[in-house]
Amino acid sequence: MYKFYKKKYYGNKTEKSHFEQAFPRYNKLKISIFVPSESYSTLQAFTKKLPESCLSRNTCSLKTCSNLYPTLHVKYYRSSSQSHNRYLADLEEKANTYIDDPKQQYAFYKALSNTYPEFIISHYEYSGAARNKDCDLMYAKALENTGQLEKALIVRRYINTDSQDISSSNTTENSNNIFPNTQEKSKNISNKQSSFNPPYKSMFQSFSENSKKNPIYVITEESRQAKIFKWARFLLSFTFVGYIFLLLSSIFAESAGVLRSITKSQDIEASGDNLPDVKFNDICGVDEAKEELQEVVDFLKNPQKFTALGGKLPKGVLLIGPPGTGKTMLAKAVAKEAGVSFFFMGGSEFDEMYVGIGAKRVRELFNIAKEKSPSIVFIDELDAIGSKRNPKDSAYIKQTLNQLLVELDGFSSKEGVVIMAATNFPESLDPALTRPGRFDKHVVVPLPDVRGRLSILKHHTKKIKIAQDIDLTILARGTPGFSGADLQNLVNQAAIRSGKSNSTSVSMKDFEWARDKILMGTERKSAFITEESKRNTAYHEGGHALVALYTPGAMKLHKATIIPRGNSLGMVMQLPDMDKDSESKKEFLAKIDVAMGGRVAEELTLGKENITSGSLNDIQNATAIAKAMVTQYGMSDKVGPVAYDQDLSRLSSSTKALVESEIKTLLEEAQARATNILRTHKKELDRLAKALIEFETLTSEEIEKVVRGEKIDHLE
C-alpha cells in the first residue's frame, strides 16, 4: 500500500522545480492530462514545463475529452507493488477512455473503495463520468469512509428515490448546498447520469487562467527517503529547541545562584555585627567546658598575655558532645564574653546543587572574619562537611573540606580569628581536620549529672511561677540522661499543662506529668483495659515494688503506676541518690531481683499456667545484666575474671556452654530470692495491688504506708 497526499499547483505558477519536488524519481511514473478539446492548444505549452525525466521516458500524455475541464493525474509506484499499481492504472485508463460507460466507472470505483475513497469522490464529482445506481452507492460509501456522513445520507436518500424528478423536489436546495454551481440541466439517476454534475467552466477556463480559486489537484505519494528526511528534520529541530531551552534555563539558574551567594555573604556579614546575648552565667551543668573555653575569652581580650612568652592559642576549638548539651550556646557565650564578632554557619549550609559553591562560601566566611577580626567563626555540625574522605568519592565532593583545610592553615593565631566547631559524631571526622594545628583543642560537653541537672532546672524555673512545695532535687534525680534541652522542654511542658488547667502556679504534679510524658509517652486514657488485665498489671507492678523495697542494694522507689503509656501497661520507677559511674555486684544482683519480681508475683497469684507476656521486657533486661556480669565484668566465679565478646558464637563450644550456664544460674537464683520475698510478704502484695487498682499511681511514701497497713486518702 502507498499513501497519497494532495498538493496544489497553479497554472500561472507552475515551474519545473515544483514538479521535481512533487514527482520524486520512482521506478515508474505516468502523467495523464485530460483537457477539453477547445483548450488543447493552450495546454501544449503546459507540458513543456514538466521535468525532462518525464518527457524522456514518454510517460507524459496529453489527451482530450469533450465536456471536461482540466485535470492532472499523476501515477507512480514502486516495483514491489508494480502488478497492483498496473491494475489500478489500467482501470483508470479504461474509465477515462470509456467515460460514458458506467460499468467501467463502477469497476474503477470498486478497486479504489478500500484504499482511496478520496479519489473516488474526486473522480465522481469532477470527471463528469457516467453513473448508475452502483456508482452512486460506491460514491456514498466513499463519503462515509471519509467522515462526510451528512452528505452521504443525502446521497442515499436520492438513490432510494425511485423515478422522481430531483429538480422539482424539496431536496434541490440541499443538493446545491453539497455541490455549489449545479448544472441547470438535471438528469435522472436511473438514466445512468448523475444529478450532481457541476459546471466547472466558470472555475477552469484554461490552464493559463489558473489561480488559488481554480487550482489543479495533484495526488502524489511521499517517498521513503522523504519520510526519513522529514522525521530527521523534526528531530533535529526538536533537539535544537531543547538545547536552547536548557541553555537559557542554566543561565537563569546560574544567575539565581550568584544572587543567592551574594545574599548569603551579606547575611554572614550582618550576623557578625550582631553580638550574641548569651553569657557563661546563662549556661549551667557544664562547668568544666566553661573553664576550658575561658582561655579563649582571655586570649581574645588580651592576646599579649599569651604571645609575650611565645605561646600560641590553638587555631581551632572542637566542641564534642551529645545533642542538646549546649555546644552552640557555649560558642556564643565565648563571643559575648570577649566582645568580638561572631559568625555562625551550619555545616549543611555550605554545599548546594552547584559544584564549587561550598568552597566559595568557605573562602567568603574566612575573608569576612579576617576583616572583622578579632572574631569567632563557629561551624555547627562539622561532620556534615568534614567527614572522612573516601578515595572513591568524586573530586567535587571533597572540595569544601579541602578548602576548609587550606583556610585553617592560611592564617595565624595572631590575626585574632578563632575557629570553633561542634559535632556529636567525632569518629566520622577526617583525621586531617583534627590534627594539631587545626582543630587541635577538643572540649567535651557531656550530659549533666544530678548537680548539673539541678542547676539547669533552677535556671529555667526562674522564668516561670512555681509552687512553694516543689522539690527540684527529686526532679533532678528522676531525670538521668536528660540533656539541658530536655530539661528546658520538661519545664516548658509543665508550664503549658499548668496554664491549661488554669492553675496559679506550676505544681509538682505538672513536673511529674511532663517527665513521665517525655520518658514513657502520653497517657493512653482512651485505652480499654479489662478488670482482669488491670488486676494482673497491679500484681505485676506490686511485685516489682515489694522486691525493690526489701532487697539490699536496690535503688529507692519513686513511684508505681498502672496507667498505660506507650507500649507499657504500667511501671515502677526507681531513682538513684546520685549519678554513678560504676556499680557493684550487689547492685547488679538487686536489679535482676527487681526485674524478676513481676513474673514471680504473677506465678504466686495467677499460677504458672496463667502468667502473661508482660514480663518480656523484664526478662530481657535481667538477661542483659547477667550476661554483662559474666562476659564483661568478671563477676562469675566459674568463668573467672575474663572478658568475652558480646557475640557468643565466636567462643568455643565448652566456653559458650559455661557462659550460658552461669547466666542461667544468676537468673534462677534471682527468681528464687524474689519468690522468697513475695511469699513472705504476700499480704503486703495484696494490699499494694488493691491500692494500685483504686488509685492507679502511688508515690514511694504512699507505697510504704500501704505496706505498713496504714490508710491513704480514702483507702479502707
Q: Are 62 and 103 in contact (CB under 8 A)?
A: no
Q: What's the CA gap between 368 and 548, in Å, rounded?
A: 61
Bridge partners of residue 429, in order along the sequence: 387
Residue tagged 587550606 (cell numbers): 406
Closest CA relative to residue 317, chosen from 305, 335, 301, 304:
335
CA distance 24 to 394: 56
Using alpha carbons, select from 329, 288, 325 the residue that is nearest to residue 420.
329
- The position carrying cell 550530659 is 447
> In terms of DSSP bridges, do strands 375-380 and 417-423 run parallel, antiparallel, or are they unpaired?
parallel
Looking at 407, 512, 541, 602, which residue is catalytic? 541
Query: CA nearest 613: which of 520, 667, 533?
Result: 533
What is d(CA 355, CA 330) in angstroms, rounded to the nearest whole number? 33
Query: Going by DSSP bridges, is the β-strand pair 28-35/71-77 parallel, antiparallel, or unpaired?
Result: antiparallel
Within its chain, how far is the Cα of 256 from the centroid?
23
DSSP state of 387: B
Query: How far is 437 from 458, CA to CA, in rounded Å?
Result: 40
Measured distance CA(531)–CA(529) in Å, rounded: 7
Distance, CA of 564 to chain centre: 36
Pairing between β-strand 441-444 and β-strand 316-320 as defined by DSSP bridges = parallel
Q: Whole-angstrom Cα distance, residue 33 to residue 385?
A: 82
Phi, psi of 483 (to 5 degrees): -90, 175
Angle at 690 between CA 687 and CA 693, to 5 degrees: 150
Looking from the CA of 134 toward its CB, the CA atoms found within 13 Å total 12
Local structure of residue 397 (DSSP, 8 states): G
Are the C-beta atoms of 92 and 108 separated by less than 8 Å? yes
d(CA 671, CA 380): 50
Sequence letter at residue 160 = N
Distance separating alpha carbons of residues 544 and 573, to the nearest angstrom: 10
Residue the block writes with cell 547575611: 267
Respond yes or no on whether the N-terminal peptide bond of residue 374 is cis (omega within 30° of 0): yes
* Cα distances (angstroms) measured from residue 647 to each of 89, 575, 631, 662, 665: 91, 32, 10, 16, 20
| CA–CA separation, 474 and 14 (whole Å) | 107
Distance from C-alpha of 387 to C-alpha of 428, rounded to nearest angstrom: 5
- Residue 484: enclosing H or E segment and its boundaries? helix 484-500
571, 561 Cβ separation under 8 angstroms:
yes
Rounded alpha-carbon distances, angstroms, from residue 38 to 53, 71, 208: 28, 14, 13
Angle among Cα 21, 22, 25 to the nearest 5 degrees reads 75
CB atoms within 10 A of CB 604: 17
Whether 541 is catalytic is: yes
Q: Which residues are identified as catalytic?
A: 541
